[in-house]
Homo-oligomer: A and B are copies of this chain.
Amino acid sequence: MERAREFYVDLLGFVETESEAGKIYLRGYEERYHHSIVLRLAEEPGLSHFAFRVSSGSDLDELTTLFESKQIRVKKMSRGSEKGVGEALRVQDPLGFPVEFYHEMDESERMLQRFDKHRGGKPMRIDHVNCQTPLVDLGYEYYVRDLGFKVSEFTESQDGKLWGVWLYRKQNVHDIALMKGTGPRLHHIGVWMPDVTSVIWVCDVMAGANFQDKIERGPGRHGLSNAFFLYVRDPDGNRIEFYTGDYMTADPDWKPIKWSLEDKKRQTFWGHVPPKSWYDEASKVESIEDGRLMEPVQVISQDRPSFAT
């Protein structure tokens, strides 16, 4: 836990709301709720669950009905079973990801204008999760048709199949992305930064503290999403993307942008090729039933561009 605190709080600058035995509750400078990340002591690294906030308590009932109609088992979480969080639902989504839905969370001081307290990389807010799954088509149907997400951009492999899809509810490029790969595995969480200089600063801060081997990919600009990005690995191997510079998707008639998997500029607009580890490695996810890490299913179709090997 101390190593994790050093990394997330001292180095990267996440705000520690509070901590207790085996848990540290973190948030970004723009966030006004209790936490957006919980670090939990465990025997193996992995993801317990990610969570979406719904607009009202009644949305939880509606979701319960939906899940039951689809034979998805719903695990009801009572208020406070996660510190600061109200009543919640957890499901294993059709792709195997452990997903929570909640409405209420305790508030915390929003630190946006306490610039004198900003530290390290100055993370502003958790923006999205990116998931690896062999079942991108199924995920697309579930998230778009059942849960009402919209598509901002997507990628096709050379055989004309959907390779990856970027899905949003809030009005920017995504809340969740699905990329074809061995899964269910969490590829990364995306953290929003105010500008290019702040993303570069993460590199300098990490290397200044001798964590340069935790910088995995970037800085660079994605063609898909236009995001200026940096991927780092935490001491347990979990991947974080620090990024800025995507765009608003307030347009009700937004036309999803299509990219080819073999277009180098899709990945990195400047032509750089990601390292092999970026495709190979990701975080296992827990079963909501027994909390054990699920063994991912290997993807058999193409999981990366042919130039990235």
Q: Is the CB of A271 within 8 A of B205?
A: no
Cα–Cα distance between A56 and B251 once the two chains are bound (Å): 11
Q: Is the CB of A215 within 8 A of B271?
A: yes
Interface string of A199-217 (1 = CB under 8 A from B): 0110111111100110100
Indicate the size class of the contact surface on chain A.
Answer: 35 or more
Q: Is the CB of A250 within 8 A of B30?
A: no
Interface string of A179-211 (1 = CB under 8 A from B): 000000000000000111100110111111100
Our pick among B32, B197, B205 for the contact of A195 (Cβ within 8 Å) is: B197
Residues of B within 8 A of A172 (CB): 248
Q: Does A265 contact B (CB under 8 A)?
A: yes
Q: Is the CB of A207 within 8 A of B171?
A: no
Residues of B within 8 A of A219 (CB): 200, 219
B-contacting residues, A237-260, CB 8 Å: 244-245, 247-248, 250-252
Binds B, one of A110-118, A133-141, A289-297: A110-118
Residues of B within 8 A of A250 (CB): 170-171
Residues of B within 8 A of A174 (CB): none
Q: Is the CB of A56 within 8 A of B252?
A: yes
- Least CB distance, A194 to chain B, in whole angstroms: 6
Cα–Cα distance between A114 and B171 once the two chains are bound (Å): 23
Q: Does A226 contact B (CB under 8 A)?
A: yes
Q: Does A45 contact B (CB under 8 A)?
A: no
Q: Does A264 contact B (CB under 8 A)?
A: yes
Our pick among B56, B213, B221, B247 for the contact of A203 (Cβ within 8 Å) is: B221
Q: Does A223 contact B (CB under 8 A)?
A: yes
Q: Does A50 contact B (CB under 8 A)?
A: no
Interface string of A114-145 (1 = CB under 8 A from B): 11111010000100000000000000000000
- Least CB distance, A85 to chain B, in whole angstroms: 14
Q: Does A58 contact B (CB under 8 A)?
A: no
Q: Is the CB of B269 within 8 A of A204?
A: yes
Q: Is the CB of B116 within 8 A of A208?
A: yes
Q: Is the CB of A207 within 8 A of B195?
A: no
Residues of B within 8 A of A205 (CB): 115-116, 118
Our pick among B116, B120, B212 for the contact of A120 (Cβ within 8 Å) is: B116
B-contacting residues, A41-82, CB 8 Å: 55-56
Q: Does A228 contact B (CB under 8 A)?
A: yes
Q: Is the CB of B30 within 8 A of A207?
A: no
Interface string of A99-119 (1 = CB under 8 A from B): 000000000000011111110
Cα–Cα distance between A95 and B62 once the two chains are bound (Å): 40
Interface residues of A (CB under 8 A from B): 11, 30, 32, 55-56, 112-118, 120, 125, 170-172, 194-197, 200-201, 203-209, 212-213, 215, 219-221, 223, 226, 228, 244-245, 247-248, 250-252, 264-265, 269-272
13 inter-chain pairs at a CB distance below 8 angstroms, sorted by A residue, are: A30-B247, A55-B252, A113-B207, A115-B207, A116-B205, A116-B206, A194-B245, A195-B244, A196-B197, A197-B197, A200-B200, A200-B228, A207-B221
